[in-house]
Amino acid sequence: MSQLLDTKIEFLKGVGPLKAEALKSELGIFTVGDLISHYPFRHEDRSKIYTVSEIQGQEDIYVQLRGKIFPQGILGIGPARRFTATFRDGTGEFELVWFKSISYIEKYLNPGSFFLIHGKITNYKGKINMAHPELEVLTDDFNPSSLGLTPVYPLTEGLKRKKIESKLLTQLTKQIVTLPQFQVPECLPESIIQKFKFVSRTQALTDLHFPPNLTCLEDAKRRLKFDELFYLQLRHLQLKGNRNRVITGLVFEQVGDHFNNFYNNYLPFSLTNAQKRVLKEIRVDVKTGKQMNRLLQGDVGSGKTMVAMLAMLLSLDNGYQTCLMAPTEILAIQHAISIGEWMEHMKVTVALLTGSTTKKNRKEILEKLANGEIDILIGTHALLEEDVAFKKLGFVVIDEQHRFGVAQRARLWKKGQVAPHILVMTATPIPRTLAMTVYGDLDVSVIDEMPAGRKPIVTVQRHESTRPLFMDFLRDEIAKGRQVYYVFPLIEDSEKLALKSLMSGYDMVADYLPTPKFKYSFLHGKMKPADKESEMKKFKLGQTDIMVATTVIEVGVNVPNASVMVVENAERFGLAQLHQLRGRVGRGAEQSFCILVTGDKLSESGRKRIKTMVRTNDGFEIAKVDLELRGPGELDGTKQSGVLDLKLADIRFDESILIAARNEAVLWLEKDELLMQEESSPIRYELGKTPNRTIWSKIS
């Protein structure tokens, strides 16, 4: 039976060497099984036959009609050369047009015959017409209900050029599913099928291609989407299970002097309940003897850094060094500044290692790291280099993780003799469904509460033409002692152009807010690190009023006194980016503002993005809109994941199936973790068929 699925497509009627070659090269279809797995992306209702009178005034819909065709002849020359004919069905008439295959069509149209035509109605100068309709000569015993819902398959341009159309795929697939030996191995245990009243996998596949009615089509989709998501979750959970079995985790028994001293004497504010809860979750994890792999999600400004700080102290209390890795130098520098301040009166040694650390400094740091003198190492990708070796690494924090690739993360922990605990922090608000899909093998903690006293940021859209007005507003805010970020989009990713566009941006701003009365800091990605650090410091210490920057300040920068964020050409930014930028303000007790400056003409999605930003401050809500606008594959970092190339399920719309699939996968592994029981045999078989895909969030 699975022999059938493995059969080469050449075995099917209608597949000669040329077509076989085209199907292989264009769609990767080699076998009968591949063909069955090439799903239609929609169905057309071919049981309905329209009349010409019914479709008058319609546009852009696919319809099927029955009637006679009367050739008109060839018109026009060059690209406008076309063949036209009149279609009549007794209720009216309209024109059919062909631009290609004209001589073939001319011969085919026998004026006496009845035709069934199918195609898209377009409206041309107030009249309906149809270009390149599908044609079929009707026989006497024709019965429209025999056509029913007809699949439409995704095709490539290459296939269309070779005249391989949906119709051929339909014929081939029909051949397969009507074979008496067509039987697909069941991939779900019987009890799950019963529980959800699923149709069998064979039935689902048959109905997905050739549904007798819409209910059957829905049932087939529900079943097949569940299969996809169930196996995705099962693989995540197995990965996690294997990790727990194979890797021994360090045990952090005690809360010691470092933690207690800091917590009782130097904590600059009291923790929010959410911060306390997450800290507790971490403390539970690190006692179990299993390696922690935890994702900490929290909107921008929710206070993730302090949670990481306290967790790092826990590691020190148990005799282990820790490190914190940030995606940009600016962020690493900033963490070094704030952690340095927090640790000022503590007996803790903090060091910063980045790509621009001097050779001499670096050598010293590496020595102290190896002999255990450095307790906390903060840095960028530079931490991943071969010669960075810790004496006893116990805890790793990765900030703003969406910027790191799999390989990089995997390299980090090899630096410890025993796998350290890993805390991954992200402010990219990922909707719950996406988190379950992408990070299914991590434990997730959420900080869902902002520190007390924060006022929601007021966001407005302003057109370029009103610049004098909002410049006045900036002047007033600065007069009150506030500071302003002024962000320009990075036009080109080159040092010279970045600087140039920033400089002309600065000239424009300085026209309204002139020096020396107003003092400026500058920041762009390609600056020398020492300059970055000093520009950041000046702004942080309040020595400058306005920070003119590119999006390098997008991630993590923290200056609580800055209360206004202006983003020029805001329509060029994605939602996630705008939200990150806005998150730079609203960090203190003052009312903060975000001014999105746009041109007058916005694209549809540009308008929607700006509107969303103005409407809400809620990162999760924004992420949802982002997901709708861009689709899951486009979200930061998920593109390369491969996790999201689901064929049928769309996590934007199939949340309930995803949750059900996740729950069943959890229950199943709780019952039979190693899949040894008889009932698990369909799962064993299915997992054996396809090797585990690379999972993006895999950390160890």
Q: What is the contact surface with Mg ion in residues (CB under 5 A)?
A: 556
- In the complex, least distance from residue 446 CB atom to ligand ADP, rounded to whole angstroms: 12
CA-nearest of 339, 330, 349 to 306 is 339
Does 22 engage in binding with ligand ADP (CB under 6 A)? no
Q: Considering CB distances under 5 to 8 angstroms, the limit depending on partner class, which of Mg ion, ligand ADP, none binds residue 380?
A: none
Q: Where are the alpha helices (H) located in 559-599, listed in sequence order? A: 575-582
Q: How many CA atoms lie within 13 A of 317 on its CB side?
A: 21
Quick one: which of 306, 311, 312, 384 contacts ligand ADP (CB under 6 A)? 306
Q: Which stretch, 144-152, 228-236, 267-275, 498-506, contacts ligand ADP (CB under 6 A)? A: 267-275
- In the complex, least distance from residue 57 CB atom to ligand ADP, rounded to whole angstroms: 55
Helix (H, G, I), strand (E, B) or coil at 386: coil
Does 298 engage in binding with ligand ADP (CB under 6 A)? yes
Does 305 engage in binding with ligand ADP (CB under 6 A)? yes
Q: Are 86 and 93 in contact (CB under 8 A)?
A: yes
The nearer residue to ligand ADP, 298 or 505, going by C-beta atoms, is 298
Quick one: which of 233, 272, 544, 697 contacts ligand ADP (CB under 6 A)? 272
- In the complex, least distance from residue 669 CB atom to Mg ion, rounded to whole angstroms: 34
The nearer residue to ligand ADP, 176 or 487, going by C-beta atoms, is 487
- In the complex, least distance from residue 274 CB atom to ligand ADP, rounded to whole angstroms: 9
CA-nearest of 699, 657, 700 to 426 is 699
The nearer residue to ligand ADP, 133 or 298, going by C-beta atoms, is 298
b/e map 89-107, b = 16+ CB within 10 Å: beeeebebbbeeeeeebee
Does 223 engage in binding with ligand ADP (CB under 6 A)? no
The nearer residue to ligand ADP, 16 or 453, going by C-beta atoms, is 453
Does 47 engage in binding with ligand ADP (CB under 6 A)? no
Separation CA 372–CA 557 (nearest Å): 30
Does 619 engage in binding with ligand ADP (CB under 6 A)? no
The tokens describing 18, both together, are: 């040329």
Does 606 engage in binding with ligand ADP (CB under 6 A)? no
- In the complex, least distance from residue 427 CB atom to ligand ADP, rounded to whole angstroms: 5
Q: Considering CB distances under 5 to 8 angstroms, the limit depending on partner class, which of ligand ADP, Mg ion, none binds residue 532?
A: none
Quick one: which of 201, 222, 236, 304 contacts ligand ADP (CB under 6 A)? 304
- In the complex, least distance from residue 460 CB atom to Mg ion, rounded to whole angstroms: 25
Q: Are 547 and 486 in contact (CB under 8 A)?
A: yes
Helix (H, G, I), strand (E, B) or coil at 663: helix
The nearer residue to ligand ADP, 306 or 382, going by C-beta atoms, is 306
Residue numbers 386-445 binding ligand ADP by CB under 6 A = 427
DSSP bridge partners of 88: 68, 93
Q: Considering CB distances under 5 to 8 angstroms, the limit depending on partner class, which of ligand ADP, Mg ion, none binds residue 524?
A: none
Percentages helix, strand, coil for the chain, rounded to the nearest 5?
45, 20, 35
Q: Are 566 and 474 in contact (CB under 8 A)?
A: yes
Helix (H, G, I), strand (E, B) or coil at 404: coil
Quick one: which of 150, 302, 357, 577 contacts ligand ADP (CB under 6 A)? 302
Does 238 engage in binding with ligand ADP (CB under 6 A)? no
DSSP bridge partners of 135: 117
The nearer residue to ligand ADP, 440 or 451, going by C-beta atoms, is 451
Q: Considering CB distances under 5 to 8 angstroms, the limit depending on partner class, which of Mg ion, ligand ADP, none binds residue 451?
A: ligand ADP
- In the complex, least distance from residue 588 CB atom to ligand ADP, rounded to whole angstroms: 8
Does 327 engage in binding with ligand ADP (CB under 6 A)? no
Does 524 engage in binding with ligand ADP (CB under 6 A)? no
Total residue count of the chain as it appears in this document? 700
Q: What is the CA radius of gyration of the chain?
A: 32
Q: Are 369 and 388 in contact (CB under 8 A)?
A: yes
Does 451 engage in binding with ligand ADP (CB under 6 A)? yes
Quick one: which of 271, 499, 629, 659 contacts ligand ADP (CB under 6 A)? 271
Separation CA 332–CA 279 (nearest Å): 22
- Tell me, what amino acid is at 417? Q
β-sheet with 293-298: strand ranges across:
350-353, 376-379, 321-325, 393-399, 421-426, 293-298, 443-447
The nearer residue to ligand ADP, 159 or 350, going by C-beta atoms, is 350
- Centre a 10 Å sphere on the Cβ of residue 449 and count the other Cβ atoms it contains: 15
Q: Are 450 and 322 in contact (CB under 8 A)?
A: no
State the DSSP code for 152: E
Residue numbers 541-580 binding ligand ADP by CB under 6 A = 556, 558, 560
- In the complex, least distance from residue 558 CB atom to ligand ADP, rounded to whole angstroms: 4
Quick one: which of 11, 41, 124, 269 contacts ligand ADP (CB under 6 A)? 269
The nearer residue to ligand ADP, 233 or 275, going by C-beta atoms, is 275
Q: How many residues line the site for ligand ADP (CB under 6 A)?
A: 18
The nearer residue to ligand ADP, 240 or 540, going by C-beta atoms, is 540
Q: Are 426 and 400 in contact (CB under 8 A)?
A: yes
Q: Are 561 and 482 in contact (CB under 8 A)?
A: yes
CA distances from 354 to 61, 286, 533, 571 (A): 59, 28, 12, 33
CA distances from 555 to 49, 488, 609 (A): 57, 15, 19
Q: Considering CB distances under 5 to 8 angstroms, the limit depending on partner class, which of ligand ADP, Mg ion, none binds residue 303?
A: ligand ADP
- In the complex, least distance from residue 555 CB atom to ligand ADP, rounded to whole angstroms: 9
Separation CA 20–CA 172 (nearest Å): 12
Q: Considering CB distances under 5 to 8 angstroms, the limit depending on partner class, which of Mg ion, ligand ADP, none binds residue 67?
A: none
Separation CA 201–CA 185 (nearest Å): 7
Question: Rule CB under 6 A: which residues touch ligand ADP?
Answer: 269, 271-272, 275, 298, 300-306, 427, 451, 556, 558, 560, 587
